[in-house]
Each structure stands twice: as structure tokens, then as C-alpha cells.
């Protein structure tokens, strides 16, 4: 819907500056119905995330769309995620069984290893021994293998817990 009349605009230009608009009369007034982005909470949440990341303009968003991580960078990120998840699960097991991370309660061979190291080592062995890793070290795992390990990490951790705590 549009209403309005015609008018002319005069601009005063100062040397070395942008022109300043000078209003000399009422111009055309436009009223348009716009669909508000705020109507969809998912859109608002996405915009908020972008704003927090410093994306303020469409040009910046277009730049972000063009950035594609390499397969190597993706694999590195997944390996790091796997290590962080293993460490988190070690902490959960320590808490669940009331053990200190620096204690030596699980060191049955008396090698001076801390509980945290023993549990993490056991989970790492479970990952390496899993059908998804095929005995490879983490640096040699493919993206698909890393995805499978991440998907099945809960079972690997549960198996390690069963071996270590043997019904405790």
C-alpha cells in the first residue's frame, strides 16, 4: 500500500564532506507491510548467534558462506572433539565411582599411575580396538571412522567402565 505526493529534495554540499539533506517540503510517504524476521524464533536465534560472532552485514554473511573447511581441518577438529569427549567421560566415571583423578585406586599393578590416566588409557585402548578404528592410531583415522567412533563412544566408554570397575 502506498500513499504520497511528489516533492523535490535539496542537498547542501560542504567541501570535503558528504551532502547533508535539507528538507524543504513533505515528500512521498510510503507505507509497506513487511514480514518481520522476528516472527520466527529460530531465525532470531540464528541472527543472534551471527551478531555475537561479529557478523553485522550481508557481505560478511556471504563471506562466511564461502569459507569451507578442508577435510584435514575437519579431521583435526573431530580428533580434538574425540579427545575432549573422552576426557569428559573420564571425569564422569571418576565422579560416578567417587574416585579422585590424582588417586591411585585403580593402579592394581602399582605402577604409580593416577586414576585419570588409567581410565583414559583404557578408553583409548577401547577406541583403538573397536571395529571402527581397525587398530589405527587417531592420526590415521578417516573422517568416516572418526564419525563412527564419535557415534559409538558411549558404548566404548561403557565397555571400559565394565572392565575397570567390574561391577563396582
112 with 130, same domain: the answer is yes
131 with 98, same domain: the answer is yes
56 with 84, same domain: the answer is no
95 with 149, same domain: the answer is yes
Number of domains in the chain: 2
pTM of the model: 0.60
Instruction: Report whether 28 contacts 4 (CB < 8 A).
Output: yes
| All three cell numbers of 89 | 567421560
51 with 90, same domain: the answer is no
Residue with more model confidence, 7 or 29: 29
pLDDT tens profile 93-144: 999 999 999 999 998 888 899 999 999 999 999 999 998 888 888 889 999 9
Show Cβ contacts of residue 123 under 8 Å, excluding neighbours closer than 6 positions. Answer: 86, 89, 90, 156, 157, 160
What pLDDT is attached to residue 63? 75
135 with 61, same domain: the answer is no
| All three cell numbers of 140 | 590415521
127 with 82, same domain: the answer is yes
pLDDT tens profile 5-17: 455 555 455 555 5
CA distance 59 to 68: 16
78 with 92, same domain: the answer is yes
- The answer to whether the Cα torsion of 147, 148, 151, 156 is positive or negative is negative
79 with 161, same domain: the answer is yes
62 with 75, same domain: the answer is no
Amino acid at each position: 500500500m502506498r500513499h504520497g505526493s511528489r516533492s523535490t529534495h535539496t542537498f547542501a554540499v560542504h567541501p570535503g564532506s558528504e551532502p547533508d539533506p535539507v528538507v524543504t517540503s513533505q515528500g512521498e510517504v510510503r507505507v509497506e507491510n513487511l514480514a518481520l524476521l522476528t516472527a520466527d524464533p529460530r531465525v532470531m536465534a540464528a541472527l543472534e548467534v551471527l551478531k555475537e560472532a561479529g557478523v553485522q552485514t550481508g557481505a560478511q554473511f556471504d563471506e562466511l558462506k564461502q569459507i569451507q573447511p578442508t577435510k584435514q581441518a575437519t579431521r583435526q577438529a573431530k580428533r580434538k572433539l574425540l579427545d575432549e569427549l573422552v576426557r569428559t567421560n573420564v571425569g564422569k566415571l571418576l565422579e560416578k565411582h567417587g574416585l579422585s583423578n590424582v588417586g591411585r585406586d585403580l593402579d592394581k599393578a602399582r605402577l604409580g599411575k593416577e586414576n585419570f590416566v588409567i581410565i583414559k588409557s583404557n578408553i583409548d585402548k577401547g577406541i583403538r580396538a573397536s571395529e571402527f578404528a581397525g587398530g589405527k592410531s587417531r592420526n590415521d583415522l578417516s573422517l568416516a571412522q572418526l564419525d563412527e567412533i564419535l557415534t559409538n563412544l558411549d558404548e566404548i566408554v561403557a565397555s571400559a567402565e565394565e572392565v575397570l570397575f567390574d561391577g563396582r
